[in-house]
Amino acid sequence: MNKLMIVKKFIIPIVLIISGFSVVGQEAPVEEETVEPVMEMTYLKDTEGNINLSSSMVNYVNRMPVPLPGLEIVFHAGEDSLVNLGSVTTDEDGWAIMELDDGISLPVGMDGSVRYFAEYTGSENILPADYEVYVTDVNLDMELSLVDSVKTVSLRAYSIIDGEEVPVPDEDVYVYVKRMFKDLPLGEDFLDENGEYITEIPDDIPGDADGNIEIIARFNDHYLFGTVEDRQTIQWGVPTQYDFAVSQRTLWTQIAPLWMIITLSVLLAGVWGHYIFVIIQLFRLRKIARKEESTSLV
Amino acid sequence: MNDIAIQDKLLAKFKPHLESTTIRWYLVLIILVAIFGWGISGLVTQITGGHIVTGMRDNVVWGVYIVNFIFFMGLSYAGALVSGVLHLFNSNWRKPIIRMAELVTVISLIIGPFFIFFCIGRLDRLHYLFIHPRIQSPISWDVIGITTDLIGCFIYLYLSFIEDFAILRDQTSINLPKWRQKIYKYLALGYTGTPRQKKIIHQSRSLMSAMIIAIAIIVYSVLAWIFGVTLQPGWDSTIFGPYFVIAAIFSGSGLMIILMWLFRRIYHLEEFITKKHFVNMGVLLMVVASFYGYFTFCDYLTKWYGSVKINAELIDKLFAEFNWMFIFANYIGIIIPIVIIGIPQFRTIRNISIGAVIAVVALWVNRYIIVIPTLETPFLPIQDSRADWLSYSPTWVEWSLTAAGIAIFIIMFKLVSKFIPIISFSEMSGVEDRELKILE
Amino acid sequence: MSEKEKSESRRKFLKTGITAGISAAAGLTGGGVLASKAMAGTGKKVKALTTDGKVVEVDEAMIEEKATKEAIGRTESMEGLPNRKFVMVVDLAKCKNARACVDACQEGHFLAKDHEWIKIYYMKDAPKTAPYWFPRPCFHCDSPMCVSVCPVGATYKRSDGIVLVDTDRCIGCKFCMTGCPYSARVFHWKEPEVEQPDVEYSPETNVPAVEGTVGKCVWCADNLRKNKLPRCVSACPMGVLYFGDMVEDSVTNGEETVRLSQLLEDRAGYRFKEELGTNPGVYYLPPSNRSFTVESGFEGQDEEIQKRYEKHVNKYKSKK
C-alpha cells in the first residue's frame, strides 16, 4: 500500500512535470494522439548469400504513408525458442535493415522453413507492432555465357539438405537488368525439373559508357523463399553516350546564337557611337563659347 | 514679319506664363497630384498585398499594365514622326509644334517603363535585367532599346532647347528669378549664334533626327516582337512588327493634335498654331488611320478565313465577349477620323481634335484587345471554378495606376512648359547665318 | 560485448543521430563528432525538410551545418545527372482523375491547394471523339520557349533534360508564362499560404517558395538524385505515369517497368501538339480500351473540382 502511495504521490507528478517541460521546451506542438503504425518485413538473400531483413514502419495519415524514424525494431528467428538476431533503429525513411552474419545458425522448423520475427515494443504514443515471415532457404546461381554468340543466362536453384544439393523445380524465377529506378524484366518462367532455367537476352540493351549492364536473377517475393538474388555485371550492353551539348548556341542555351550577338553589337555600337559624337559636339560648343568669350573680353 | 519681331511677339506671349503662375495652374496641379496619390496608394496595396490585388491570374498574366506600357510607348512616336521626319523634309509648318512633339516623346518614354515595373513580381530584382541579361530574350532587347531610345530622344530634345535657353538667358523683357537665369545660362552652353555654333547644332540635330526615326522603329518593333515571337494564338502573327509601328504613328499623331488644341487654348497661340497645322496633322492622321485599318483588316481576315481552331476560338471570343471593344477600336476609331478629315465640310479644328481623341482612346482599346483575349484562349482550355481566373477584369489598383500615369504625364508637361516655352523661339524665328543680337 | 553487438550499438548510435533528420547519404564517418553535435544542441527545435521531402522536427544546431551542405544551389542544379535524359510517358487509357498525383506533388512541394504543377484536364478533341482525362505535368521540352524568353536566366535547361526555375533569380516578369503554350507554369500571386520549411532554397525543389515568382513541375529533381521516382509517379494508383531514362531505354510506373521504345511502339505513343516544335519530353499513350467511363472521374470529387469541368463538359456536349 505504501509503495502505491509513493507512486501516486511522487512519481506520477514528477513524470507529468517532466513531460510537461518537454512539451513547453519544444517549438512546435507535439502530436498527442496515439499512432498506430503499420509494419512490414521483407526477406532478402542477396548476391553474396547474406540474409537481410528489412522492416518498415509507417503511419497512414490521410491515406498517405508517413515514415516513422527512430524506432527500435528487434529481430528474432525461430518459433518456440527465439534466437535474438539483434535490433536496428529505423532510419528517416522508416526502414530498419538487419543484416545477418554469414553462418549464423538459425532454428529450422518442421517444413524446412525458418520463422523470422520483427517486433516493435511500443512507446508512449506509438502502439506496438510485429511481423513474421516463414522463409525456406534456397540458393540461386546464375551463369552468363555466350552460346553460339547468343547472350545466354543460365539459372540453377537448389537447396542444401543434409549437405547435398537438391534442385528446386517448378518455382517461378525472374531475370532483370538493373536500371535507374526499377529493374527491367528480361525473362520469367518456371524452373524445370532440374531446377534450371535458360534464357537469352537481347543484343540492344543500353548499358553505361562502356556497355556494362548488371543482370539480376531473382525469386521475387516468393511465398516460400522470400526474395533471393544473384547479380552479375557484364559488358553485354550497348555503350551509351548522351551528349546534350549545353554549350550549343541556341535560343534556350546559355550562349546566344552568333548572329544575334553580332547584330546587337553592330546596332548598339552604331547608335551609341552617334550619341557620343553628338555629346562631344556639345562639349565642343561649350569650349568654343568659352574661347570666344575670352577673346571678346580681350 | 521679320525674325526679331516674331521673337518679340513670342516672348511677350509667354512672358506671363514664364514669370508667374496662376491660381488655376496650381489648382489643376493639386487635382493631378491627388490622382497621382491615389495611384501611389494602389501601388502600395499591390506591393504589400501581392499581385493578387490586381485582376491578373495564371492565364491572363499581363493586363492593363502592359496595355498602358505599349500605349505610352506608342505615344512617343509623336516626336519621332513630327519632329524627326518633318525635320528631314524641312517643312516649315512643323516649327510651332516640334517642341510639343519632342516633349511628348521624352515624357512618355519615361512613364511607359514604369508600367512594366508595376507588372513585375519582384521589384527588388529589377537590376537583374541589367546585370544578368540574356540577349536571346525579347525583353532584353526591349530594355536595351528603350534605354537607347530614351537617351537619344533626350539628347535630341536638349539640342532643340539650347538656342532657346540662349534667348532666354539674353532677353530682358521677362523678369526671371536669379536661379532660373543661372540655369538657362549654364544649359545654353555659352551659345551666341556664331556660324560655327549654328553648324554644330544643325548637324547634330539632323544626325539625331535620323537616328531617332530609326531607333523608334526598331524599339517599337522589338516591343511588338515580345508578343510576336511567342506561340500564343493571336500573337503568333508575322504582321505584328509593322502593325505596331503603324498603330504607334497613329496614336502619336492623334496625341499631337490633342496637344496642339490644348496649348493653343491655354496659351492663346492662335496666331502660331493655325488651322493649317490641324489640317496637315489631320491628313497625316487620316492616312495613318487608313493604313492602320488596312493592317487590322489583313490580320483578322487571314485569321478568320483559315480554319485553325484556336484562331477561330479567338475570333469568336473577340466578337462575343469583347464585341463593343472590337467595334470601337477597329471600326469607330478608324472610320471617324477618316470621315472627319476626308470630308472638307467637317474639317474644323474642333472636329479634328475630337477625331484625334477618339483615335487615341480607340488605340488604347486596341492594345487591350490584342493582349487580353489571346491570354484568355490558351491551347489548353482554362478549367477553373473561379470567375476571376477564367476571365480578366482589372481592379481599382490597375485603374488607379493608369490614372496616375496620365496624371504624371500632364504634370510633367505643366512643369516643363513653366520652365521653357512650349513653342520653340529659335525655330520660329529661323535665324539663319546671323548673329543673335543682344536685345535691348 | 561481441564484435557484432559493438558494431550494432555504434550503428544504432549513428542512426539515432541521423534520425534527427539528416540524410545518411552525406557520408558521415565521425560518429563521435555527431554525438557531440547531438549533445550540444541549442534545445530549440525547428521544422526542417529532409532531402526526401519530409518535414521533421530537429534541433536547430543540427540543421545549420547540414542544410548548407545539403541544398543543391543554382550552379549545381544546372548540371544534369550524367549520361541521363529523363522522359515521362502518360497512359491516357488508365487515367480516371484520381488526382493522387496532384495531391502528392502539392504535399511534397508545400503548395497551396489552388497551385497545381500537374493539372488534369478534361479533353475532347473533336465532336465525335470520346472525352478523356489529360494529366499535364511540365513537358520539360527540348526546345523550351520559356527558357528562350526569360530575360534574366532564371529558368534553364540542363543536360539531363530537366528545365528548372531559380526563384532567387526570377524577377516575376511572367514572360515565360506567356511563352509556354501548355500553360504549365504558375505564379505566386501572394505570400504562400502553406507554411514553408526553413531550409536553404534549391531550384530542384522550389522550396521555400517566394512570392512574386514563377513555379512549375521540376520532375522532382531532388528525388532523381537519389534514384527515386517523382512523387506523382509513385502516387498514381492507376499506374498512369511512367518515368525513366531515355538513354537506358526504360520507364517505370512503380509497378511495371518496360522498355520505352517498346512501349511507344506497341501503344502508339505521341507528343501533345508536336507541330509546335517545342519537342516535349512527355509522351502520351492514346486512351484506347479504357475499362471505366470518363464520368467516373467526377465521382467522389469535391464540388469545387467538379465545377471546374462543368463549363467544358457542357460545351462539348452541345457540339454534337
CA nearest to B163, candidates B417, B420, B415, B412: B420
pLDDT at residue C2 greater than cutoff 60: no
Inter-chain touch A260–B136, beta carbons under 8 Å: yes
Q: CB-based contact (8 Å) between C144 and chain A? A: yes
| pLDDT surpasses 70 at C6 | no
Residue B141 included in any domain: yes
Contact C103, C257 (CB under 8 A): no
- Split at pLDDT 50, 70, 90, the class of B148 is very high
Read off the pLDDT of residues A22-42 as tens digits, 9 standing for 90 and up: 444 444 445 567 888 889 999
> CB burial class (10 A; 0-12, 13-18, 19+) of residue B438?
exposed
Residue C59 pLDDT: 52
Summarize pLDDT for C44-54 with one digit per residue, the tens. Answer: 454 444 444 44
**What does each C-alpha distance from B367 to B178, B244, B301, B361, C128 come to in angstroms?**
47, 9, 18, 10, 37
Helices within C71-99 (DSSP H only): 74-77
Tell me the mean pLDDT in the region C290-315. Answer: 90
For residue B129, CA distances in Å to B145, C171, C180 come to 13, 8, 21
Query: Which domains are present in chain A?
Result: 32-136 (2.60.40.1940), 139-234 (2.60.40)
* A56 bridge partner residues: A40, A95
More confident residue, A261 or B271: A261
Residue B74: inside a domain, yes or no? yes
Q: How many domains does chain B have?
A: 1
**Per-residue pLDDT tens over the stretch A135-176:** 888 889 999 999 888 999 999 998 888 888 888 888 899 999
Asked if B121 lies within 8 A of C171 by C-beta distance, the reply is yes
Instruction: Give the number of C-alpha atoms closer than 13 A to the C-alpha of residue A156, restricted to the C-beta side.
Output: 9
The answer to whether residue B431 is domain-embedded is: no
How near does any CA of chain C get to the CA of A166, in Å? 32
Half-sphere exposure of A78 (CA within 13 A, CB side): 11
> Strand C86-91 and strand C282-285: pairing?
parallel
Q: Answer yes or no: is pLDDT of C31 > 80.
A: no
Using a 10 angstrom Cβ sphere, with 0-12 exposed, 13-18 middle and 19 or more buried, the burial of residue C83 is middle
Task: Give pLDDT, residue B70.
Answer: 95
Q: Is residue A218 pLDDT above 80, yes or no?
A: yes
Least confident of A98-112, B125-139, B367-381, C284-298: A98-112
Mean pLDDT of chain B: 88
Write out the residue limits of the CATH 3.30.70.20 domain(s) in chain C: 77-285
CB contact (8 A) between residue A257 and residue B136: yes
**How much is the pLDDT for B87?**
77
Q: What DSSP character marks residue A38?
A: E
Which chain A residue shows the shortest CA-CA distance from B186? A286
Q: Give the model confidence (pLDDT) of C177-230 as tens digits.
A: 999 999 999 999 999 988 888 888 999 999 899 899 999 999 999 999 999 999
Residue whose grid cell is 517549438: A27
- Whether A180 and C84 lie within 8 Å, measured CB to CB: yes
Q: Given this model, what pLDDT does residue B402 score?
A: 96
- Asked whether residue B35 is assigned to any structural domain, the reply reads yes
C57 → closest Cβ in A28, A180, A185: A28
Tell whether the model's pLDDT for residue C69 goes beyond 60: no
Whole domain around residue B43: which residue ranges? 3-426
| CATH assignment of the domain containing B166 | 1.20.1630.10
Task: Judge whether residue C149 has pLDDT over 90.
Answer: yes
pLDDT at A7: 53
Confidence of residue B437 (pLDDT cuts 50, 70, 90): very low
Q: Which pLDDT belongs to residue B80? A: 80
Q: What average pLDDT does this structure show over C31-45?
A: 39
Question: To the nearest whole number, what is the mean pLDDT of chain A?
Answer: 83
Does the domain at C77-285 match CATH 3.30.70.20? Answer given as: yes
Cell numbers describing residue C318: 452541345
User: Residue A65 has what pLDDT?
Assistant: 79
Among A215, A41, A43, smallest CA distance to A138 is for A43
Q: What is the mean pLDDT of chain C?
A: 82
CB contact under 8 A, B51 and C273: no
Cβ–Cβ contact C179 with A under 8 A? no
Chain B positions touching A281 (Cβ under 8 A) are 200, 203-204
Residue B30 lies in a domain: yes
CA C251 – CA A220 distance, rounded (Å) = 20
